[in-house]
Chains A and B, each alone.
Chain A
Amino acid sequence: MRPPDVWAALRSSPWRLLASSWPWRALAYLASGALVGLVVAVLLFVLVGVGLLTLVVLVGLLVLAGIPLLAALVADVERVRLRLVLPEAGSGKAAPSERIAWSDRFRALRRLRISGPEVGYTVLVATVLWLVDAVALNLLITLPGVLVLAPVLVRIDAPVAFGPWQLTTPSEAWIAVAPGLVLLIAGLYAATLLAAAQASLARLLLEPAQTRLTAAVADLRRSRVDLVDAFETERSRIERDLHDGAQQRLVALTMTLGLAELEVPEGAGLDLVRQAHAQAETALAELRATVRGIHPRVLVDHGLTAAVRELAGAAGLPVSVDLRVDRRLPAPVEAAAYFVVAEALTNAVRHAGARSARVQGQVTADRLEVVVRDDGAGGATVRPGGGLAGLATRLAALDGLLEVTSPPGGPTEVRMTCPIALP
């Protein structure tokens, strides 16, 4: 797998870096930087020169106004070049809204819509950067390159000279290869570092702030989903612990008490055993309800439809279920939908005094929609700290929505929609 950008590559081991394509991308970046910089330097020189010279006849003003246009052009080229070393750069989703169309730029010339950072970067490219790139390429690559290639150069009668040293014979030339190789490797490394630093500078100046914000929001959204996911994982761990621990001990206890009932003779003793048995069963029933409230096993094993059917069966009022979800959805989405139904049915029984309820749901396009209606007294609200509010928050993290319509006198309708693909 290729590291996502040149910085990640630099952080990995030196050998992996050298074996990868990053050094060559870096060289291409530097070389194109030197070339572009030279062209820009000439253009800028001409623009500024001609502009200043003709300023007295006012035409110069128009010429100088071309500088922002040149800067925009340089910035666009640079954004393309950036992808050599920072593939993510320039692919920000907000780019279209931030990018200024060329026709708009011309139209806006009157108002001289100058992007400060773009002009600054252009001046930098034309003055410092291209020189740095050219010198670096020569020092870091050409010199070691000549050393490495010395045997070939000597053979084709091109004398190689480094200051006082003259390499004329093949044996002398071969001696130069080893230090040449070491220098070449060091040079590649340094060139990659330089390209990375330059690209980051360019990105800082040229990438619109909105792109960076968009990336941050995407990160934030991902981390929120991760949080919901972690929450879900934790719940199912608690469920498993309870199921494998306390619940089984209680079942074993009821078995033992059941056996004891057969052994103990009729009388006060047997009455006590029966009482204990009944208490153990009550505890077991309560524990089972708790476990179901934490994270229902059926949801994990059989998915949303089966789990909602089970909920309906245990709701304590007749509930008709018409749920058309025939595939598995991401676990946080299934869990959110399940708990919405659970909460709505609980409210229907406990607060609205409903006589029946209806659960409907389906997946349309890329969204899950679930509606729970009851014929109760209505008046349900999403109170802060209440069950529905918690579910609304949970759904918001998944980019979903919870709506409650519950006029006094009823009926109450709880509707949730949620994208079935996680952000």
Chain B
Amino acid sequence: MPDRAPLRIVLAEDAALLREGLLAILERAGHEVIAAVGDADALLAFTDHTRPDVVITDIRMPPTHTDEGLRAAAELRRRHRDLAVLVLSAYVADAYLAELLDTAGGGGIGYLLKDRVGHVRDFLDSLDQVAGGETVVDPEVVRGLLDRQRPDGPLDVLSEREREVLALMAEGRTNGSIATALFVSEAAVRKHVGNIFAKLRLDPTTDRRVSAVLAYLREA
């Protein structure tokens, strides 16, 4: 896949089997994995030391196997504001997502299910988007969030179609890709996006696309 810009990556995954699998996929795509580590401490140390473009980390890691990876990711974001972080989870659990998004100051956050890695092309696309400063959330997680909209939430002002557009934006899709998915023109998508920004009264000086997604996700 020569069209991808090679990224310098630190990879943290405690299961050797998955670490090898990820390594194989990343290296095949031409990325440089500077370090592949098995715990959060090593992740912090290596990242501080080598300043990679992207950190890919599992949520659960030793010693307690709860959310070490997530906490390490948050800590890294505090230390390096523009570091892109892609978090992998074995569960469709947005409890972890809220924690992660709280650190999303500069964008460049990804939250993917581990199964998604098997769709190699999609996974590598997501990785590029995260490295490029976008926010990417696993479609399955987004679907879960969409399924239980609160009737009185702040996103209640959006129409059905606008919500669909927002959900696709949350997955990190471009306007073109959203247009294809919804069988509408790109101009229509642009109009919806504009409406979403206006209805949510988002500050035009920030990255409104990211803000919209965050607002959407935080509401859940």
Residues in A lying within 8 Å of B, measured CB to CB: 240, 243-244, 247-249, 251-252, 254-259, 261-262, 277, 280-281, 284-285, 288, 292, 297-298, 300-302, 306-307, 309-310, 312-321
Given A248-B17, A318-B149, A298:B93 Cβ within 8 A: yes
9 pairs from A and B in contact (CB 8 Å cutoff): A251-B118, A255-B22, A258-B119, A284-B115, A292-B91, A298-B96, A310-B91, A320-B150, A321-B148
The number of residue pairs between A and B whose CB atoms lie closer than 8 Å in the complex comes to: 109
Verify if B32 is at the interface (C-beta below 8 Å from A).
no
Residue-wise interface mask of B (148-174) relative to A, using a CB-CB cutoff of 8 A (1 in contact, 0 not):
111100000000000000000000000
Closest CB in chain B relative to A283 CB, distance in Å: 11
CA distance A302 to B89 in the complex (A): 14
- For residue A320, which residues in chain B have a CB less than 8 angstroms away from its CB? 148, 150-151
Distance in angstroms from A267 CB to nearest chain B CB is 19
- Kindly list chain B residues whose C-beta atoms are within 8 Å of the C-beta of A244: 15
- List chain A residues, Cβ under 8 A from B215: none
Interface string of B161-194 (1 = CB under 8 A from A): 0000000000000000000000000000000000
Residues of A within 8 A of B94 (CB): 309-310, 313
Which residue numbers of B lie inside 8 Å of A, CB to CB?
Answer: 15, 17-18, 20-22, 24-25, 28, 60, 65-67, 90-96, 114-115, 117-121, 123, 141, 144-145, 147-151, 220
Contact B144 A258, beta carbon cutoff 8 Å: no
Q: Which residues of A contact B17 (CB under 8 A)?
A: 248-249, 252
B92 touches A313 (CB 8 A): yes
A321 to B96, CA, bound (A): 17
Q: How far is the CB of A134 from chain B (nearest CB, A)?
A: 63
Please give me the 6 A-B residue pairs with the lowest Cβ-Cβ distance, nearest first: A313-B144, A254-B118, A306-B95, A255-B21, A258-B118, A302-B95
Q: How far is the CB of B13 from chain A (nearest CB, A)?
A: 10
Q: Which residues in B have their C-beta under 8 angstroms from that of A277?
A: 118
- Specify which chain B residues have a CB less than 8 angstroms from the CB of A301 in the assembled complex: 66-67, 95
| Dominant secondary structure of chain A at its interface with chain B | helix
Asked if B118 contacts A255 (CB within 8 A), the reply is yes
- Least Cβ–Cβ distance between B72 and chain A, in angstroms: 15
Q: Are A314 and B92 in contact (CB under 8 A)?
A: yes
Q: A298 vs B97: C-alpha distance in the bound complex, in angstroms?
A: 12
Contacts of B66 in A (CB 8 A): 300-301
A249 to B121 Cα, complex, angstroms: 21
14 further contact pairs, Cβ within 8 A, besides A258-B117, A259-B25, A319-B147? A251-B118, A255-B117, A258-B118, A259-B120, A284-B115, A302-B93, A306-B93, A309-B148, A310-B91, A310-B94, A313-B92, A313-B147, A313-B148, A318-B147
- CB contact between B28 and one of A259, A300, A321 (< 8 Å): that residue: A259
**Interface residue from B18, B117, B148 paired with A248 (Cβ < 8 Å):** B18
- Output the least CB separation between A279 and chain B (Å): 12
How distant is the Cα of A316 from the Cα of B123 in the complex, in angstroms? 26
Set of chain B residues within 8 Å of A281, measured between Cβ atoms: 115, 118
Chain A residues lying within 8 Å of B25, measured Cβ to Cβ, are 255, 258-259
Task: Name B151's closest neighbour in chain A (CB-CB).
Answer: A320
How far apart are the CA atoms of A316 and B140 in the complex, in Å? 12
> Which residues of A have CB within 8 Å of B147?
312-313, 315-319
A170 to chain B, nearest CB (A): 68
Q: How far is the CB of A273 from chain B (nearest CB, A)?
A: 11
CA distance A143 to B24 in the complex (A): 87
Residues in chain A near residue B119, CB distance under 8 A: 258
Contacts of A317 in B (CB 8 A): 147
Is A248 a contact of B95 with CB atoms below 8 Å?
no
Q: Which residue of A lies closest to B95 (CB)?
A: A306
**Cross-chain contact A256 with B21 (CB below 8 angstroms):** yes
Q: Are A259 and B24 in contact (CB under 8 A)?
A: yes
A255 touches B18 (CB 8 A): yes
- Distance in angstroms between the alpha carbons of A50 and B21 in the assembled complex: 100
- Give the Cβ gap from A209 to chain B, nearest Cβ, in Å: 49
Is A247 a contact of B90 with CB atoms below 8 Å?
A: yes
By beta carbon, the residue of chain B nearest A254 is B118
| Cα of A303 to Cα of B95 in the assembled complex, Å | 10
Is A248 in contact with B15, judged by CB distance below 8 angstroms? yes
Residues of B within 8 A of A315 (CB): 147-148
Least Cβ–Cβ distance between B35 and chain A, in angstroms: 19
What CA separation (Å) do A306 and B151 show in the bound complex? 19
A110 to chain B, nearest CB (A): 70
With both chains docked as a complex, state the minimum distance between the C-beta of B56 and any C-beta of chain A, in angstroms: 13
Q: Which residues of B contact A298 (CB under 8 A)?
A: 91, 93, 95-96
- B171 CB to nearest chain A CB (Å): 15
Chain B residues with Cβ below 8 Å from A319 are 147-148
Per the bound structure, the CA–CA distance linking A149 and B157 in Å amounts to 95
Residues of B within 8 Å of A318, CB to CB, are 147-149
Shortest Cβ distance from B122 into A: residue: A258
